[in-house]
Amino acid sequence: MRNGKRGANKSKSNGAQSEEMSNDALHELFLDELADIYNAEKQLTKALPKMAKAAQSQELKEAFETHLEETENQISRLEQATKALGETLKRKKCKGMEGLLEEGKEMMEEKDDSSALDAALIASAQKVEHYEIASYGTLCNWAEMMGHREALELLKQNLAEEKATDEKLTEIAESTANQQAHQSQ
Ligand code: FE
Ligand code: FE
């Protein structure tokens, strides 16, 4: 019993004792961070429909709707990644996302009647994307270090979607700015 599965399924490393200890600590941190982004994505699925509804331009509305679908897939990938590790997701509240969404909501209310509403929505959405990019970048790095290959592939897909969304939002911001500049001529 004492020498049972407990230690064995924690880490595949056969390295030195100290290396195994630090792998355990990193594995724990990895699971914390997975739980954090999982909760962040869940919070985002509640905010994106409101952002889509508020968006003035059709293009921005569609971008938010598309990203909502992607976000739902990202949540499934996080569940798959955790399963692939033989772990379960911890319960955690992502305070970072909570704060970003709170700020976004404030901005949305303040700019409700403004022609800059879409610009405000894009600004807060890009802050969210950058937060996620940072999280997935870190998670990919750790997954690679620990040799979690299946999790790594799934996390890479999430990272790529966040980056593409960020770029898409930049494009929309630029085309909107161009349009507005054109209108005011
Ligand atoms: Fe996401
Ligand atoms: Fe995202």
Using one digit for the tens of pLDDT, what is the confidence trace for 60-105? 999 999 999 999 999 999 999 999 999 999 999 999 999 999 999 9
Residues 138-165 have pLDDT tens digits of 999 999 999 999 999 999 999 999 999 9
CA distances from 83 to 31, 183, 184 (A): 12, 52, 54
CA–centroid distance, residue 160 to ligand 1 (Å): 10
Ligand 1 centre and the CA of 118: distance in Å?
Answer: 20
CA of 74 to the centre of ligand 1 (A): 6
Distance CA 126, CA 114 (A): 19
For residue 106, report the distance from its CA to the centre of ligand 1, in Å: 21
Measured in Å, residue 171 CA sits from the centre of ligand 2 at 16
- Under CATH, what is the fold of the domain 18-183? Ferritin (1.20.1260)
Distance 17 CA to ligand 2 centre (A): 39
Give yes or no for residue 2 having a pLDDT over 70. no
Across the range 166-178, mean pLDDT stands at: 90
CA of 90 to the centre of ligand 2 (A): 21
Predicted TM-score (pTM) of this structure: 0.85
Q: Which residues surround ligand 2, an ion (CB under 5 A)?
A: 132, 162
Q: Which of 47, 45, 64 shows the shortest CA–CA distance to 55?
A: 64
Q: Which residue has the tokens 């909501």?
A: 105
158 half-sphere exposure, CB direction, 13 A CA radius: 33
What does the pLDDT look like over 31-63, one tens digit per residue?
999 999 999 999 999 999 999 999 999 999 999
For the chain, the domains span 18-183
Give kind and range of the element (H or E) at residue 165: helix 149-183
Please report, for residues 21, 37, 41, 65, 165, the alpha-carbon distance to residue 26 in angstroms, rounded to integers and kept in the order given. Answer: 9, 16, 22, 35, 29
Helix axis angle, 95-110 to 17-54, nearest 10°:
20
